[in-house]
Amino acid sequence: MATQFKMAAMGHTMETGRVVEWHISEGESIDQGQLLISIETDKTVVDVNSPVSGVLLKTVGQVDAEYDVGEVLAWIGDAGETIPDQRVEPDSKKRSVAAGPRVTPVAQRLADRHGIDADAVEGTGPDGRVTKEDVQRAIDDGTAPVKAEDTSVPAGEVVPLSGIRRITAERLSANWGVAPHVSEGIEVDFSQFEAYRVEREADWQEKWGAPLGPNDLILAATAQALKDHPDLNTGFVDGAICRYNEVNLGVAIDIDAGLVVPVVRNADKLSIGEIARTVRELAVKARENKLTPDELEGATFSVSNLGGLGIDWFTPVLNPPQCGILGIGRIQRVPRYAGNEIVARDLATLVLTFDHRLIDGAPCARFLSQLRAALEVPEALLD
């Protein structure tokens, strides 16, 4: 009997998923565990393997369309096996992510490069959608309709939002108009840590199995400070304040596809070395597109570091429903007064953005002060 392949819940909060690509065509054989389909969740794109071996009898999930968790996307069985009639009827739950565009994103990009009116090309895809092949055929045949020049805007390539960039745009647009963002900054002296790093780097490598950097120190100090400031380790959920029982740090990582925020779980219970190893493992998986949905869920507070890109300071945007996010700038050696003398100090600016519905400015200032104290005298975190 043929097996139904359904849209799986790839994370606790996932309700729908978008079909990005089928890696096997109808009629082809597939082994259990072989890559079958790529699904875009609300957090990332996940490669999904076939649960069984057999022949891909029928695909009913359309590329670029969105489906509820539990809906049938395909049938896998023996060659020649019959399956129930699966008529795909478009409705609000099976909608194109881009609100029903008649042209696929890749077809639109090809048309734009050649100055073609893609909307005037005859489509042969599902529901008459214009595919890349349709546009290429029109170009090759010389029948491609030329796009009328729009003089109201400067010339340029129109790139549809897709993947992580689309998800980011949707979340930020929805959150920015709802959560009142307020930011506070503080200057932190990392001179003592930098001196320790020169002296103890080899010892840290042997002890922790990973080199320690300022970002690891900040994550460890943040996790401990959140225990003493639980009002920051909260979220705005269903019109109420949710006080989280765990301190799970979301760590922003820049990859080619955009920004992902994997989670270091129970960070307050980890040593600085364990945090360092975990972050490096997550970063490798992120750049190889191997993060699982569970590794991207459950953060109670986020940290974003742009210091490595030469940024002095910035005001990060909240990741809903979290109450707070910490932005880290670069460490710079600058002159400062020590009594009547001028000395060189290694300074960086940390900026905390918080949801003013959940917490006021004064407790956030106290959080930053405690964080600075721990970072400037870091022995307790490094032992």
Domain range 177-382, its CATH number among 3.30.559.10, 3.90.550.10, 3.60.20.10, 3.30.67.10: 3.30.559.10
The model's pLDDT over 339-382, given as tens digits with 9 standing for 90+, comes to 999 999 999 999 999 999 999 999 999 999 999 999 999 999 99
Query: Can 356 be counted among the known catalytic residues?
Result: yes
**Cα 156 from Cα 134, distance rounded (Å):** 23
Check: CB of residue 182 under 8 Å from CB of residue 354.
Answer: yes
The model's pLDDT over 205-242, given as tens digits with 9 standing for 90+, comes to 888 888 899 999 999 999 999 999 999 999 998 889 99
Classify residue 39 by burial, with Cβ atoms within 10 Å: 0-12, 13-18, 19+.
buried
Q: What percent of the chain has pLDDT over 70?
A: 86
Report which of 12, 66, 83, 18 is spatially closest to residue 44, judged by C-alpha positions.
18
Q: Where in the chain is the domain with CATH 2.40.50.100?
A: 3-77
Which is the catalytic residue, given 12, 85, 360, 383?
A: 360
Q: Where in the chain is the domain with CATH 3.30.559.10?
A: 177-382
For domain 3-77, the question of CATH label 2.40.50.100 is answered with yes
Which is the catalytic residue, given 68, 127, 294, 356?
A: 356
Return the DSSP state at 103.
B
3-state SS of 17-45?
A: EEEEEECCCCCCEECCCCEEEEEECCCCE
Check: CB of residue 382 under 8 Å from CB of residue 199.
Answer: no
Global model pTM greater than 0.75: no
The model's pLDDT over 304-333, given as tens digits with 9 standing for 90+, comes to 999 999 999 999 999 889 999 999 999 999
